[in-house]
């Protein structure tokens, strides 16, 4: 992987686009469309430009590196399950009882020598060019602006290296980095991240915090940066374990932080704990804009780079995205680390249209009553799993968790409100649904039991008839479609033209309880009732379980956008939508090939 572009040409069916394209909207829109196609490929944009600033960049932009599952496996050089097996083996190592057992352990122990990063005293290829502080200019880097309403350009694949105040701990994270001007970046690290913990240490000590940001190099670096490693463990240990060889690190030019020698671009500087700037708004991987908030600012001391650097970037927005495949690898590899806290866990799955932290499915051995509820508390109390909003657990007889249709049918045949757990806890900083930041509702569903006795709805009727009955009661209801009507808990989805809280008048629909088991209400605007993939995305994004779920006489889920009519006083962010003029221009030039069906399916406009 010394030459990532050449490796992708040989192994990843790299698409090369030589036409000049704008870093503002055009390049991100091409990548956003590409990652949603069935044969998604990595893309190299050889002539990035910035029309607004009149810049022609002298380095290409590489995007969609983790373009599909097959390519992701090639990047790891093995199936992620194989990496997981190695971790599981290490976790189960026991002190050898005799001489022969000691001999058997030698290969495992010998392999561990490759885990620890090696620090070199010499400079790396990432330091072939050194730009002094007086000449630093971030405008010379092809930093992307992805969405029309973004607060500016931001670095999307920055490897952010930080260390604790005493230098004893180092961290690699992946955070949004807003470009404010020629020499300042915003540090969007959330409160639960190690970098934020280090920042607190420097703030209390009244000292400036050194930060080094790397871009490029082995794609595994950026994957390690988003991996949910235990607190205090340097992510480059994981790199060594996966690669089977030590990460080769070199010292930053202006601080004591070590970074991989083969990255393309290095941005060094410091954060003054006394200075904060408004960051955002930015479209994010949730498919929504995150709101403006104050975050620390990095002042840049120097930029170093290879002689011929490549600028790696990714795109965020509505699923599916590149993080689908990065998340798949993370999910497989970290299964052994979850099992010590939940020993009877068999498998888990985080669907990308659940935006990972919004929905998790778990398969488990149930040994006693309340076992699934115990698992819910365990998941919600440990590490990054504590940010999961909705958890559904099934028994060991369930289908494959990733078989979306089969597992949904299995769950719906076992839905019993008596086995729900609705509570409150910490939520992701990007979550917009709770009445206050960082704390919101969580919903656990125990579907480990046998099929429920009652069969389906008491009096099933067709969509058109049921819609007419509903509209007689509530004229704001516009559309209706029933899903999984053959199961014991069919789902009835309705769209509304919302002018008042849907929950305030829900009692009027109780007279239809013989026709309904689960009622899901969404806005007509920006939703397609015939696209279940995006409906799941919308609903798990849009609900707070303590506010938006009613259990009797049937289950009601309010997946609408919230506002003052709901007593919701925070700002509700908008969707990430492509710019129509940009899509049309790209289509006219033959750079993308999409139709109205594709646009509608993924909610592009």
Let me know whether 304 and 350 are in one domain: no
What pLDDT does residue 230 have?
A: 78
> To the nearest 5 percent, what fractions of the chain are helix, strand and coil?
30, 25, 45
Q: Please report whether residue 479 resides in a domain.
A: yes
Per the CB < 8 A criterion, the answer to whether 297 and 277 are in contact is yes
Quick one: which of 339, 341, 359 has its CA closest to 350?
359
Between 404 and 378, the more confident residue is: 404
Tokens linked to 160 = 């952010």
In the structure, what pLDDT confidence band is assigned to residue 591 with cuts at 50, 70 and 90? very high
Q: At residue 506, what are phi and psi to the nearest 5 degrees? A: -70, -25
- CA distances to 77, 106, 230, 240, 499 from 111, in Å: 16, 8, 21, 10, 63
- 128-143 residue pLDDT tens: 999 999 999 999 999 9
Tokens linked to 433 = 């649904």
What pLDDT does residue 20 have?
A: 98
Under DSSP, is residue 400 helix (H, G, I), strand (E, B) or coil?
coil
What's the pTM value of the predicted model, to 2 decimals? 0.93
Per the CB < 8 A criterion, the answer to whether 210 and 270 are in contact is yes
Let me know whether 484 and 393 are in one domain: no
- 154-172 residue pLDDT tens: 999 999 999 999 999 999 9
What pLDDT does residue 103 have?
A: 57
Q: Above 90 in pLDDT, residue 383?
A: no
Q: Above 70 in pLDDT, residue 387?
A: yes
Let me know whether 172 and 286 are in one domain: yes
Average of per-residue pLDDT across 501-520: 94
Give residues with Cβ within 8 angstroms of 234, minimum separation 6.
117, 169, 170, 171, 172
Task: Work out the percent of the chain whose per-residue pLDDT is above 70.
Answer: 96
Let me know whether 113 and 262 are in one domain: yes
Give residues with Cβ within 8 angstroms of 515, minimum separation 6.
457, 458, 459, 460, 461, 466, 469, 492
Q: Above 90 in pLDDT, residue 551?
A: yes
Quick one: which of 80, 84, 89 has its CA closest to 107?
89
Q: What's the total number of domains in the chain?
A: 3
| CATH number of residue 362's parent domain | 3.40.1670.10
Let me know whether 38 and 100 are in one domain: yes
Between 589 and 228, the more confident residue is: 589
Give residues with Cβ within 8 angstroms of 240, minimum separation 6.
114, 115, 116, 117, 246, 247
Give residues with Cβ within 8 angstroms of 355, minimum separation 6.
285, 286, 287, 319, 537, 540, 541
Average of per-residue pLDDT across 370-395: 89
What pLDDT does residue 247 have?
A: 94
DSSP state of 436: B
What pLDDT does residue 108 have?
A: 60
Q: Please report whether residue 332 resides in a domain.
A: no
Q: Please report whether residue 572 resides in a domain.
A: no
Q: Please report whether residue 273 resides in a domain.
A: yes
What pLDDT does residue 111 have?
A: 62
What pLDDT does residue 162 have?
A: 95
What pLDDT does residue 96 have?
A: 58
| Mean per-residue pLDDT of the chain | 93
Let me know whether 11 and 90 are in one domain: yes
Average of per-residue pLDDT across 470-493: 96
Let me know whether 506 and 387 are in one domain: no
Q: Above 80 in pLDDT, residue 443?
A: yes
Let me know whether 57 and 83 are in one domain: yes
Let me know whether 61 and 167 are in one domain: yes
In the structure, what pLDDT confidence band is assigned to residue 342 with cuts at 50, 70 and 90? confident
Residue with tokens 């097996």: 85
Quick one: which of 35, 21, 34 has its CA closest to 145?
21
Between 454 and 236, the more confident residue is: 236
In this structure, the number of other CB atoms found within 10 A of the CB of residue 283 comes to 25
In the structure, what pLDDT confidence band is assigned to residue 109 with cuts at 50, 70 and 90? low
Average of per-residue pLDDT across 495-507: 94
Q: Please report whether residue 248 resides in a domain.
A: yes
Let me know whether 413 and 509 are in one domain: no
In the structure, what pLDDT confidence band is assigned to residue 53 with cuts at 50, 70 and 90? very high
Full DSSP string of 220-277: HHHHHHHS-PPTT--THHHHHHHHTS--EEEE-SSSS-EEETT-SEEEEEEEEEEEEE
The residue range of the domain holding 532 is 463-566
Q: At residue 550, what are phi and psi to the nearest 5 degrees? A: -120, 140
Q: Please report whether residue 143 resides in a domain.
A: yes
What pLDDT does residue 102 have?
A: 56
Let me know whether 363 and 421 are in one domain: yes
Q: Please report whether residue 575 resides in a domain.
A: no
Let me know whether 170 and 266 are in one domain: yes
What pLDDT does residue 588 have?
A: 97
In this structure, the number of other CB atoms found within 10 A of the CB of residue 153 comes to 22
What pLDDT does residue 343 have?
A: 87
Q: Above 90 in pLDDT, residue 544?
A: yes
Q: Please report whether residue 324 resides in a domain.
A: no
Task: Work out the percent of the chain whose per-residue pLDDT is above 90.
Answer: 82
User: Cα separation of 336 and 333, whole Å?
Assistant: 7
Average of per-residue pLDDT across 85-103: 66
- CA distances to 156, 417, 475, 511, 513 from 507, in Å: 46, 18, 15, 8, 10
Average of per-residue pLDDT across 80-103: 71
What pLDDT does residue 495 have?
A: 98
The interaxial angle of helices 219-226 and 69-76, nearest 10 deg, is 100
Least confident of 372-381, 479-488, 565-574, 579-588: 372-381
Average of per-residue pLDDT across 401-423: 95
User: Cα separation of 115 and 167, whole Å?
Assistant: 20
What pLDDT does residue 50 have?
A: 98
| CATH number of residue 125's parent domain | 2.30.110.10
């Amino acid at each position: 992987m010394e030459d990532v572009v050449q490796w992708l040409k040989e192994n990843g069916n790299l698409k090369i686009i030589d036409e000049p394209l704008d870093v503002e909207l055009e390049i991100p829109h091409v990548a956003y469309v590409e990652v949603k196609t069935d044969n998604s490929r990595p893309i190299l944009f050889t002539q990035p430009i910035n029309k607004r600033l009149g810049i022609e960049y002298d380095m290409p932009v590489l995007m969609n590196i983790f373009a599909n599952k097959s390519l992701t496996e090639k990047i790891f050089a093995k199936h992620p399950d194989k990496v997981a097996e190695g971790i599981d083996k290490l976790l189960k190592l026991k002190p050898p009882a005799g001489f022969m057992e000691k001999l058997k352990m030698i290969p495992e122990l010998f392999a561990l020598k490759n885990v620890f990063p090696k620090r070199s005293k010499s400079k790396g290829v990432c330091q072939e060019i050194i730009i002094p502080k007086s000449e630093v200019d971030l405008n010379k880097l092809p930093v992307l602006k992805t969405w029309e309403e973004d607060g500016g350009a931001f670095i999307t694949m920055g490897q952010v290296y930080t260390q604790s105040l005493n230098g004893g701990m180092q961290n690699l994270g992946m955070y949004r980095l807003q470009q404010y001007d020629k020499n300042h970046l915003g540090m969007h690290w959330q409160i639960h991240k190690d970098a934020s913990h280090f920042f607190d240490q420097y703030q209390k000590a009244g000292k400036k915090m050194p930060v080094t940001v790397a871009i490029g190099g082995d794609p595994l670096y950026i994957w390690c940066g988003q991996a949910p490693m235990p607190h205090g463990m340097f992510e480059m240990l994981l790199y060594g374990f996966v690669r089977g060889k030590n990460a080769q690190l070199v010292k930053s030019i202006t601080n004591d932080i070590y970074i991989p020698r083969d990255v393309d671009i290095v941005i060094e500087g410091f954060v003054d704990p006394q200075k904060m700037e408004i960051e955002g708004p930015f479209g994010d991987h949730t498919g929504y804009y995150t709101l403006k908030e104050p975050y620390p600012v990095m002042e840049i001391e120097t930029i170093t780079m290879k002689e011929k650097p490549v600028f790696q970037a990714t795109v965020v927005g509505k699923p599916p995205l590149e993080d689908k495949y990065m998340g798949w690898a993370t999910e497989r590899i970290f299964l052994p680390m979850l099992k010590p806290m939940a020993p009877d866990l068999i498998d888990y799955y985080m669907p990308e249209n659940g935006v990972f932290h919004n929905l998790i499915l778990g398969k488990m051995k149930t040994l006693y009553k309340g076992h699934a509820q115990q698992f819910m508390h365990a998941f919600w109390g440990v590490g990054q799993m504590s940010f999961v909003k909705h958890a559904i657990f099934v028994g060991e007889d369930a289908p494959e968790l990733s078989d979306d249709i089969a597992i949904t049918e299995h769950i719906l045949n076992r839905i019993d409100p008596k086995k729900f757990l609705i509570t409150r806890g910490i939520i992701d900083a990007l979550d917009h649904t709770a009445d206050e930041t960082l704390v919101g509702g969580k919903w656990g569903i125990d579907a480990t039991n046998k099929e429920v006795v009652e069969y389906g709805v008491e009096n099933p009727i067709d969509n058109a008839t049921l819609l007419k009955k509903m509209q007689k009661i509530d004229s704001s209801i516009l559309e209706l479609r029933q899903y999984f009507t053959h199961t014991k808990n069919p789902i009835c989805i309705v769209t509304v033209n919302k002018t008042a809280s849907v929950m305030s008048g829900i009692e009027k629909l109780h007279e239809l309880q013989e026709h309904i088991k689960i009622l899901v209400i969404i806005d007509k605007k920006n939703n397609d009732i015939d696209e279940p993939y995006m409906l799941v995305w919308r609903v798990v994004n849009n609900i707070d379980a303590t506010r938006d779920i009613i259990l009797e006489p049937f289950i009601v889920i309010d997946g609408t956008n919230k506002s003052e009519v709901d007593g919701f006083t925070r700002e509700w962010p908008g969707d990430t939508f492509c710019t129509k003029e940009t899509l049309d221009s790209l289509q006219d030039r033959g750079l993308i090939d999409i139709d109205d069906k594709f646009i509608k399916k993924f909610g592009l406009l």
